[in-house]
Structure 1
Amino acid sequence: MDRRKRGPGSTVVWKYIFAGCIIIYTALVFVYMSGSNRPFKEVKQAMEKKIDTEHMKDVSSQGLKRYYGLNGADYDGVMMYVSTSSMSAEEVLVVKAKNTEQARELEDAIEKRIEERKNVFEGYAPEQVKMLKEAQKSVRGTYVFLAISPDSNSYREAFTKAL
C-alpha cells in the first residue's frame, strides 16, 4: 500500500499538536505576566476590604521607608499593613511601581526583608517562621504584592481579583 495516500503522517499531526501547545503556553504567559490598567486607588480599596484591620495597622509609605528602606513617594502607590503586635510577622504590601525595573528592586527588597524576619523569629517563634516561609508573593506588571499572614492565600486571591 502506498503510504502517501493514507493522509498526513503522525509526525505532521504531532507538529500541529506541539505548535498548538506553544501557542496556548505563550497566551497563558502573556496573561499571567501582564499588569493591570486598574488605578491603584481601586486595587487598594478592594484589598482593604479583605484586610483584618482589627489586628493590623496601615503604615503605607512610612512603613515602606521604615521596613524596606524605600521611599514611598518614588512609587505610583503604596499600601502596607503590619501587625499591631511586635510578636507577629503579619504584613500585607501592595505597591504600584513606575516601571518593571522598580518592581524588580522591590522584589529584591521583599526577599531581603523576609530573610531578615526569619532570622529575628528563628529562635523563639516557629509559627512566625513558618508563616514567613509560606508568604505569598506576586508581581503582575508593575504591581507587586506580598502577604505574610495565616490568610495569605485569601489576600493573594483578593489581589488577583482586584487587578
Structure 2
Amino acid sequence: MSQWKKITIRVMRYVTLLLIVGFVALLLIYTSGSNRPFEKVEKSVEASLDKENMKRQDGTALKRNFGLNAADYDGVMYYSSEFSISSEEVLLIKAKSETQTAEISSAIEERIKTRMNDFEGYAPESVQLLEDAKKSVRGKYVFFAAAPGAEKYLEIFSNSL
C-alpha cells in the first residue's frame, strides 16, 4: 500500500508539472507578438473592414488625430469615417520596437477620451462605439477599432498573427 501511495504522489507531481508547463506555454503563445510581415496582417484585417463607412487615411490624418508620425513605425493602416460626426476608426500599427507600443497605446487612449468629449451630449451612438472600442497589443503590433464590427475585427487581427 505504501508503494502505491509513493507512485501516486510521483504521478501527481508529474501531472502538476505538465499542467504548469502547458499553462505557461499557452500564456506565452497568447501574449507573444508575431513574426508575420505587416503586409499579411494588414491584408487580413483590411479585407474584413466595412469600407462603406470608412476610407483609408494617410499619415497626415494619423498625425492630426493621434499625434503619431507614420514614418516612425514599420507599418501603419488607418481607416476612419469620411464624416466628422462619426467615431468609426480602425488602426493597425507595427512598431519598430516594443517600447513604442506604450506610446501608441497612450495616443489611442487620448484619442478615445478626446472623441468621447467631442460627442458627449449629441451623438450617443458614437460615444457607445468609443466605450465598446477594442484595443490589443501583441508584441510589436497595436490594434484599435471603434466600429460596429470591432469585436470581429479584433478576432481577425488576433487570428492573422
In the superposition, the TM-score normalised over structure 1's length comes to: 0.89
For 1:19, the equivalent position in structure 2 comes to: 17
Taking the TM superposition and a 5 Å limit, the aligned residue runs for 1:1-163 are 4-8=2-6, 15-163=13-161
Contact 1:36/1:141 (8 A) holds in 2: yes
Distance 1:6 1:48 in 2: 59
Q: Which runs of 5+ in 2 are unaligned?
A: none
C-alpha contact (below 8 Å) 1:61/1:79 kept by paired residues: no
SS in 2 for 1:7: helix
Q: Distance in 2 between matches of 1:41 and 1:155?
A: 16
For 2:18, the aligned partner's letter is: G
1:60–1:78 Cα contact (<8 Å) kept: no
> Structure 1 residues 14, 129: CA separation in 2 closer, same or farther (over 3 Å shift)?
farther
Q: Percent identity?
A: 47
Counterpart CA distance in 2 for 1:41 and 1:60 is 16
Q: CA RMSD in A?
A: 1.8
Letter in 2 for 1:118: M
Task: Return 111-120 or 142-151, whichever deviates more.
Answer: 111-120
Q: CA deviation at 1:141?
A: 0.8
* C-alpha spacing 1:8/1:129, structure 2 compared with 1 (3 Å): farther
| C-alpha separation in 2, matches of 1:88 and 1:51 | 16
Unaligned runs of 5+ in 1: none
Q: After superposition, give the CA deviation of every residue in 1:85-116 in whole Å (9 maximum; x if it has no partner).
A: 11110000000000110011111111111111
CA change 1:60–1:47 in 2 (3 A) is farther
Provide, for residues 29-75 of structure 1, a one-character-per-residue CA deviation record: whole Å limited to 9, x for no partner.
11012211111112212222111222111114222211111111000
Residue aligned with 2:99, SS: helix
Q: Give the SS at the match of 1:57.
A: strand
* Structure-2 change in CA distance of 1:17 and 1:124 (3 Å): farther
Structure 1 window deviating more from structure 2 (22-31 vs 144-153): it is 22-31
CA distance in 1, matches of 2:8, 2:146: 50
Supply the distance in 1 between the matched residues of 2:12 and 2:123 (Cα, whole angstroms): 54
